[in-house]
């Protein structure tokens, strides 16, 4: 009888120890899954946010295209002065600097290309000549006009390629 009581106490102690160990394992596993789920959700939200910022950057680039067509249609010095590309180009650079370090240089080059184009247009514009600034740039210096166009196209291609590479990073995280 003495042996039977010891076995019963030993069994009771082991069941408590095993139950405690299983509880601890359950808590650890549950917390681990919760942590992993939280990390996945955070990564997904971050990727979605940054993809939205890439869309904002693309919209800012398209705004510069709109600016360019408006700029070429200017027919007076006053119109040119009020149609500065700085606000458009700053937006492109600001988005790149705030969110995408790999896009800083291509965005700055893109912005600078349009500022140089604007300066070229100002140099070519004359109020005493009939026609818009686009025509005046071509007439005054067709080679420089072509060089500016090719430079902007090349820089835009570099920026587009960099944006595509950046987007792939975040698309893969969705």
**Coil, strand or helix at 32:** helix
Instruction: Answer yes or no: is 40 within a domain.
Output: no
CA distance 117 to 151: 10
pLDDT tops 60 at residue 4: no
Instruction: Answer yes or no: is 22 within a domain.
Output: no
Instruction: Answer yes or no: is 24 within a domain.
Output: no
pLDDT tops 70 at residue 79: yes
Structural domain range at position 102: 47-171
DSSP string, 37-75: HHHHHHHHHHHHHHHHHHHHHHHHHHHHHHHHHHHHH--
Instruction: Answer yes or no: is 81 within a domain.
Output: yes
More reliable by pLDDT, 150 or 19? 150
Share of the chain above pLDDT 70, in %: 94
Counted domains in the chain:
1
- Dump pLDDT digits (tens) for 106-146: 999 999 999 999 999 999 998 888 889 999 999 999 999 99
Instruction: Answer yes or no: is 70 within a domain.
Output: yes
Instruction: Answer yes or no: is 14 within a domain.
Output: no
Instruction: Answer yes or no: is 13 within a domain.
Output: no
């Amino acid at each position: 009888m003495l042996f039977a009581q010891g076995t019963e106490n030993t069994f009771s102690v082991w069941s408590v120890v095993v139950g405690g160990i299983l509880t601890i394992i359950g808590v650890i596993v549950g917390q681990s899954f919760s942590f992993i789920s939280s990390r996945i959700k955070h990564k997904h939200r971050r990727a979605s946010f940054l993809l939205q910022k890439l869309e904002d950057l693309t919209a800012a680039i398209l705004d510069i295209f709109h600016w360019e067509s408006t700029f070429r249609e200017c027919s007076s010095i006053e119109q040119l002065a009020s149609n500065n590309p700085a606000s458009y180009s700053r937006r492109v650079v600001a988005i790149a600097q705030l969110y995408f370090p790999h896009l800083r240089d291509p965005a700055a080059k893109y912005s600078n290309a349009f500022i140089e184009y604007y300066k070229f247009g100002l140099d070519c514009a004359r109020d005493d000549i009939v026609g818009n600034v686009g025509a005046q740039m071509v007439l005054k210096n067709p080679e420089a006009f072509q060089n500016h166009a090719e430079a902007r196209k090349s820089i835009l291609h570099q920026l587009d390629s960099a944006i595509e590479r950046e987007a792939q990073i975040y698309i893969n995280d969705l």
